[in-house]
Structure 1
Amino acid sequence: MSEGITVLTGGVGGAKLVLGLMQVAAPDDISAIVNTGDDFRHLGLAISPDIDTLLYTLSGKANAAQGWGREGESWSFMDALKSLGGEDWFLLGDGDMALHVLRTHLLARGETLSAVTGRFAAAWGLGLSVLPMSDDPVGTHVITDSGELAFQSYFVEQRCAPAVRAIRFDGAEQAKPAPGVIEAIASPSARAIVIAPSNPWLSVDPILAVPGVREALAAASAPVVAVSPIVGGKAVKGPTAKLMNELGLQINNRTIAAHYAGIIDGLIVDGRDGGEGIDIPHELTDTLMVSLDDRARVARAALALADRIAAGR
Structure 2
Amino acid sequence: MIKALPVKRYLALSGGVGGAKLALGLSKILDPEQLTIVANTGDDFEHLGLSISPDLDTVMYTLAEINNKELGWGLAGESWDTMDALARLGGETWFRLGDRDLATHLQRSTLLASGVNLSGVTQSLCQQLGIIHPIIPMSDDPVRTCVKTDKGDLAFQQYFVREQCTPEVEGFYFDGIESAKPQPQMMDLLAGDELAAIIICPSNPFVSVDPILGLANVKDAMRNNSAPVIAISPIVAGMAIKGPAAKMMSELGIPATAAEVARFYGNLIDGFVLDESDYGLKSEIEQCGIHVHCTNTIMKTLDDRIDLAKDVLSFIDSIDDKTNKKKKENL
* Residue number in structure 1 paired with 2:307: 297
Picking from 17, 38, 41, the partner of 2:22 is 17
In structure 1, what is the Cα distance between the partners aligned to 2:230 and 2:283? 18
By how many angstroms is 1:2 displaced? 4.1
In structure 2, what is the Cα distance between the partners aligned to 1:187 and 1:267? 23
CA contact (8 A) 2:9 2:35 kept: yes
In structure 2, what is the Cα distance between the partners aligned to 1:215 and 1:12? 27
Partner SS for 2:297: coil
Counterpart check, 1:282 vs 2:292: yes
Identity of aligned residues (%): 49
Unaligned runs of at least 5 residues, structure 2: 1-5, 325-331
Picking from 51, 57, 61, the partner of 1:46 is 51
By how many angstroms is 1:220 displaced? 1.6
What do residues 197-238 of structure 1 show as CA deviations (whole Å, max 9, x unaligned)? Answer: 000001000111111111111112111100011112321111
Partner SS for 1:221: coil
TM alignment of 1:68-79, pairs within 5 A: 68-79=73-84
Counterpart check, 1:186 vs 2:210: no
Partner SS for 1:137: coil
- What stretches of structure 1 move > 6 A for 4+ residues in a row? none
Number of residue-to-residue matches in the alignment: 313
Counterpart check, 1:267 vs 2:277: no
CA contact (8 A) 1:9 1:195 kept: yes
Counterpart check, 1:86 vs 2:96: no
In structure 1, what is the Cα distance between the partners aligned to 2:192 and 2:10? 10
* Residue number in structure 1 paired with 2:169: 164
* Residue number in structure 2 paired with 1:217: 222
In structure 2, what is the Cα distance between the partners aligned to 1:2 and 1:222? 14
Which amino acid is the alignment partner of residue 316 of structure 2? A
What do residues 57-84 of structure 1 show as CA deviations (whole Å, max 9, x unaligned)? Answer: 1101100110100000111111111111
* Residue number in structure 2 paired with 1:101: 106
In structure 2, what is the Cα distance between the partners aligned to 1:260 and 1:304? 21
What do residues 112-161 of structure 1 show as CA deviations (whole Å, max 9, x unaligned)? Answer: 00000011111222111111000000000000000000000000000100
* Residue number in structure 1 paired with 2:3: none
What do residues 70-122 of structure 1 show as CA deviations (whole Å, max 9, x unaligned)? Answer: 00011111111111100010001110010000100000000000000011111
In structure 2, what is the Cα distance between the partners aligned to 1:163 and 1:55? 31
TM alignment of 1:126-275, pairs within 5 A: 126-274=131-279, 275=282
Which amino acid is the alignment partner of residue 13 of structure 1? G
TM-score normalised over the length of structure 1 = 0.97
What do residues 19-62 of structure 1 show as CA deviations (whole Å, max 9, x unaligned)? Answer: 01012211331101110000000011000000000111110110
CA RMSD, Structure 1 to Structure 2 (Å)? 1.2
* Residue number in structure 2 paired with 1:59: 64
In structure 2, what is the Cα distance between the partners aligned to 1:311 and 1:24? 24
Which amino acid is the alignment partner of residue 292 of structure 1? L
Unaligned runs of at least 5 residues, structure 1: none
In structure 2, what is the Cα distance between the partners aligned to 1:187 and 1:128? 19
In structure 2, what is the Cα distance between the partners aligned to 1:28 and 1:96? 28
Which amino acid is the alignment partner of residue 297 of structure 2? T
**Which has the higher mean CA deviation after the structures are superposed, 180-189 or 269-278?**
180-189
TM-score normalised over the length of structure 2 = 0.92
In structure 1, what is the Cα distance between the partners aligned to 2:130 and 2:193? 27
CA contact (8 A) 2:145 2:175 kept: yes
CA contact (8 A) 1:223 1:310 kept: no
In structure 2, what is the Cα distance between the partners aligned to 1:269 and 1:281? 11
